[in-house]
Amino acid sequence: MQVLIPDDRRGHRDSLRNLIQREREVQVSGIAEEAESAPDCAIARELRRALDGCPVCDGSYRDHSYAILATVAIAEQWQSPLRVKQYYDCLQERRWQELLSIREWDDAADALVGFAFRCSMGRVGIVTILSPAKPGLPDTPLHYTILPEEEGNSLLAVLPPEKWRPLRSVAPASL
Ligand SMILES: [Zn+2]
């Protein structure tokens, strides 16, 4: 099972959710633990799995959506650590346009993939996932952030509507 643990381990999921719903300025981050192995990697399903229930509303992902923000190829080149640092710097400093310009892909290399997800409650978060190049290895969620409302809106402003895909199909399938 995959669990996302908030940075503050004393906090419980419910209180975290209450806080997010009450406080529009709050930011919550977490790291992923106990990655589950999954053979195939449909992006939306992996994201749902990574999030283990929407961290904002704890809902069923109805009317939730996601968009790919950035991809970094983790190759054995001197550029890779610099790119990863650039990715996290952009995240922290909310340099959205620069973040969106980080688009590397190498079929032979592991990839760091950043996604935005949008909750039906209006909040926006970012999930970072490590996607191994080797087929059959599971994607591993590394980090997530639920953005303060204003910063979420500023990210929404640079992502055109066609970039967003539903996080859950309309069919009432399980999860
Ligand atoms: Zn939600």
Tell me the pLDDT tens digit for each residue of 10-30: 444 555 566 666 666 666 555
| Residue that the structure tokens 């009450």 belong to | 22
In the chain the beta strands, taken as DSSP E runs, fall at: 3-6, 28-33, 65-74, 110-118, 124-131, 140-146, 165-166
What are the tens digits of pLDDT across the range 1-15? 233 444 443 444 555
| Distance of CA 51 from the midpoint of ligand 1 (Å) | 10
Does 171 fall in a domain?
Answer: no
| Distance of CA 54 from the midpoint of ligand 1 (Å) | 4
Counting the structural domains of the chain, the total is 1
Does 173 fall in a domain?
Answer: no
Does 172 fall in a domain?
Answer: no
Q: State which residues form the domain around 162.
A: 2-166
- Higher-pLDDT residue of 138, 94: 94
- Is the full-model pTM beyond 0.75? no
| Distance, CA of 27 to chain centre | 14
| Distance of CA 117 from the midpoint of ligand 1 (Å) | 9
Does 129 fall in a domain?
Answer: yes
| Residue 116 clears pLDDT 80, i.e. is over it | yes
| Distance of CA 85 from the midpoint of ligand 1 (Å) | 29
Q: How many CA atoms lie within 13 A of 155 on its CB side?
A: 32
| Distance of CA 119 from the midpoint of ligand 1 (Å) | 4
Sheet-wide strand order for 110-118: 3-6, 28-33, 140-146, 124-131, 110-118, 65-74, 165-166
